[in-house]
Structure 1
């Protein structure tokens, strides 16, 4: 807070003080605008995140478990991974319109690419000794996959989900800056036009708080699901 105050004192662009940002936040909360924008952005993030993770996990398992599937799918995944999801936004808007579909699609793409690579890496990183030991004990592929591969891959999957969550928030803000009528990114764009820096700060802080809260939830889930794993 002290650093913020010092930055305001020496700023040449008229940065808002913490008190001004707090006052603006209270105004936006009372008017209901902040809540409406928060719900709009959060719903897009959750939809794209859920779709991305739901598809990425089975595809990642498929790539990691079957070499043939890996050879067919991995080149396409790596190709699209090299293309920033933000670069797809103009194409998505042209082909899908300016509704919710293109926004959710680019979020889905960002999350899918992060999660599928993490899942794939988790599968191929499983200790082969564990797999061979299970086979010696008479376990079939289905049992090995369920009792060995999935538990061992879970930490990788959850890390991919956390990375995908960050990508989702970055992508939704960019999408709302380009084509939206609501959302925290849209509100920042409108505030920029009127040089309303306090509103921009409120939106940025809101995004940070939401993102941090969601990341903490994923971290708690990771701790619960991987309690068997040795930690530093």
Structure 2
């Protein structure tokens, strides 16, 4: 009897694991909304409920305010993030492949990593003014520092056996780099890209303090002045959804680019 019960329990667990991931994602989403509704209905904390927040979101969409804020924040995040990644990858390869470059560049990378990007905002305002440049620069810095370390770590973590085997077969550095180094370090690079993406969204709220007239971070700051919690929640949820969707796109690219890599289910 005991063995049969254990077998049934194991079968149930396997059945749950075999559910489609999208179904489990939706189940988690519904469960989160239910918990949120229960907490606010019981008045355990002073927070707006799901119905109130969704109603405010519908009002902001109807007025055109939320779409404008989304476009403004997306433009800043994508510009800073793409510039940061575009520079971080070659710099990371340079640091990982050449010891001289590593010795010259790495101290600066580690130095600036210890400085929060938000602390650069006053300097960015003084040197770049209050237009879009300082906002994009702060986001660029956050994504660059996250991605460059991951790329560098990916290069130095490549199995030396692969490099030595390629050299034994007569391959030069010009062949080894694109055929061995880049594919082997791609998983590290994509992890850095995902971290950089998260850093970009985490920084955009503070970046939009710099004399912004639109944006999700700007809208939250304005709502804070009037203690408008539903609007704050709408902006927070929107940032979370946009960040999640962009992260899923990066994950899809990762699966396609690293099909050779063994994965745990």
Please tell me the TM-score bracket, short chain as reference: over 0.9
Alpha-carbon displacement from aligned partner over 1:169-191 (angstroms, at most 9, x marks no partner): 01111111353111000000111
**Paired residue for 2:104?**
72
Q: TM-score, normalised by structure 1?
A: 0.97
Unaligned runs of 5+ in 2: 1-32
Instruction: Tell me, yes or no, if structure 1 residue 37 matches structure 2 residue 69.
Output: yes
User: Scaled by the length of structure 2, what TM-score is found?
Assistant: 0.85
Question: Which residue in the other structure is 1:200 paired with?
Answer: 232
Q: CA deviation at 1:11?
A: 4.3
Q: 1:12 to 1:129 in 2, by over 3 A?
A: closer
Q: Which residue of 2 aligns with 1:181?
A: 213
Q: 1:108, CA displacement in angstroms?
A: 0.5
Question: How large is the RMSD of aligned CA atoms in angstroms?
Answer: 1.0
Q: 1:149-164 counterparts in 2 under 5 A?
A: 149-164=181-196
Deviating beyond 3 angstroms after TM superposition, the runs of 4 or more aligned structure 1 residues are none
Distance in 1, Cα, partners of 2:97 & 2:158: 11
Q: Which residue of 2 aligns with 1:118?
A: 150
Aligned residue-pair number: 231
Structure 1: segments with no counterpart, 5+ residues: none
Give the secondary-structure state (helix, strand or coil) at the position aligned to 2:85: helix
When structure 1 is superposed on structure 2, of 171-180 and 18-27 the one drifting more is 171-180
Deviations 1:109-151 (A, max 9, x none): 0111011100000000000000000000000111000100000
Match of 1:166 among 176, 185, 198: 198
Distance change in 2, residues 1:101/1:93 (3 Å): same
Cross-structure match for 2:43: 10
Higher relative contact order (CA 8 A, sep 6+): 1
Which has the higher Rg, Structure 1 or Structure 2? 2
Report the Cα distance in structure 1 between the residues aligned to 2:36 and 2:165, rounded to whole angstroms.
58
Offset of residue 12 of structure 1? 5.4
Distance in 2 separating the partners of 1:194 and 1:136: 69
Q: Distance in 1 between matches of 2:193 and 2:211?
A: 26
